[in-house]
Structure 1
Amino acid sequence: MIIAALLLLQGYSPETEAVMNRSRQQAQERRAATSSARGTKAGGEGATGSLVALPLPPEVAARLQACLDTAIADPTEGAKVASEWALAGGSYHAAQCRGFAFSRAEQWDQAITAFDAGAAEAEKAESSLDAARLWVQAGNAALAGGKPDSARGYFDAALGHGLPDGLPKGEVYLDRARANVALDDLMAARTDMDVALNQAPQDPLAWLLSATLARRMNDLVRAKADIARAGQLSPDDASVALETGNVAMLTGDEAAARAAWTKVQTIAPDSEQGKAARAALAQLGAEAPVPQKP
């Protein structure tokens, strides 16, 4: 019964939903907003050495934010506005908005091209931190578009420029770990994931993905510890609860697995996680709770 339930879980995995797809557009939006919010702030936000971000004049910051807002409301119109801005000398800021608009429309090849061109323009402008950020965005677009090898190359380029310690660097290592998982290079993924955890220890997604990676590598002690940390940081995340059940089952704690999968039903009964948890509970002979309509 236990083996059957675990085999059933192979139809859904956190790597498929969380690692490859989950929150990618949100990540693009967060990075775009962070860049536009820099305003007139000079320097590299804690960067050291030769890492530089050019000051962003208020009028450019305002135009970038307006372009991003347009892309959020209407990606096609956002791409048009960005292209017009590029013709008017918008440089890599216009390219960033154009790539963002294509990402919103899930036109990944066009997004990759726009971000890559923007990074090249930022390089010419000697704004190395902006170039690194745009390469990260190109990498995320490549991952979303099913091109993990290209994605890894973009993340390599970003990290090669150096990034300030902390969450930004941690996210890039996490992204490169995702690319390595997609390329089935689990040892490289583990190395990158450990750096990501060191740089961004408060990111629950990093701990979730570290746990799923450890499970795939048959390191159940590590998987159990990491998913517990993810649960502490994000107790109401359905992906975390689902993986908690997966790890519990593999470590022989059927009661904990049942509890975790039942929790998924409470958090997100109609989600892909909810469907997977419901199927697993059925395999265990457990009756999943009936979702309550609000």
Structure 2
Amino acid sequence: MIGYYVHHVGSGHLHRATALARVLDEPVTGLSSLPRPAAWAGDWVELERDDLTAETAGDTADGFLHWAPYGDPGLRRRMAAIAAWIGDADPALLVSDVSVEVALLARLHGVPVISVVLPGDRTDRAHQLGYAASRELVSFWPARAEGMVTGVGDRLHPLGGLSRFPLTEAPRRPSARRRVVVLNGRGGGGPTDAQLDEARRQTPAWEWEILGGSDGPWLADPFPSICDADVVLTHAGQNAIAEVAAARRPAVVVPADRPHDEQRTTAAVLAATHWPAVVEPVFPDTGWAERLDRAAALDGGAWAAWCDGRAAERFAEVVDRVVRELAAR
């Protein structure tokens, strides 16, 4: 039995947990403030939220903690629930995706931890403490995408992009008009309706489909739309980039603001290492016709080095190895 802590903000954490549970021989228990997903086959411990009462982290123990506000009832009960689950389940390992505090809690119970590392500047004391307490560190970008994170060193196992969807090499279906699909993330910070309206006004030869955000539907399966696009306009979240890569579609990437410069770091690496993406630091006001033409001319097949469809299996190999090593002791 292993546990998988799933952070409730964004969708990538849950996608990674689901992918691992699907290929791992060990049973996986999810621990999260998210409700149990319909497709989750194992046990699920729904935790109370720890961000409904406290407005700030308060005292962070001189920067060694990210979020442990004094007196928060949700925090106290969620940590107690995780501790109780550890006591009852006797897990072989816990994956933290991601929380320094949960990683430390598990480690202080004598449970080995594998921490998922996100892009960006992770040199702060809290991340460094969490990484030091972790048996292994994994990330979901390819090894050749250098510069995705600072503060980790050579302990990191880059596993490659992990998409929910199978790879496709199929060409886009012929159409009278070229199509751009906009992927808006759950975390917010995407283009405004007015910005998208102006981009559409500048590109009358293009058909636009907007997914997510305030102006479009949230699809459980956006992959057919992505695969049918000539260009995907997306933020720089790990899940979005992995799914664009799995569809082998060229992209225009505009990073959203996230803590630790997570998306801006990813966007900078995409721009510097010649992936099939036109990268803009902020959403441009002008030049959309030329920009989409430039992106459409890129070879989406070059995404194969980012996402080869084997990241979940490599994740499972790391987990299996740690479990075997500790069992042999």
> TM-score with structure 1 length normalisation?
0.32
Q: Which structure carries more helix by proportion?
A: 1
Q: TM-score, normalised by structure 2?
A: 0.30
Task: Give the number of the structure whose residues are more often strand, by fraction.
Answer: 2
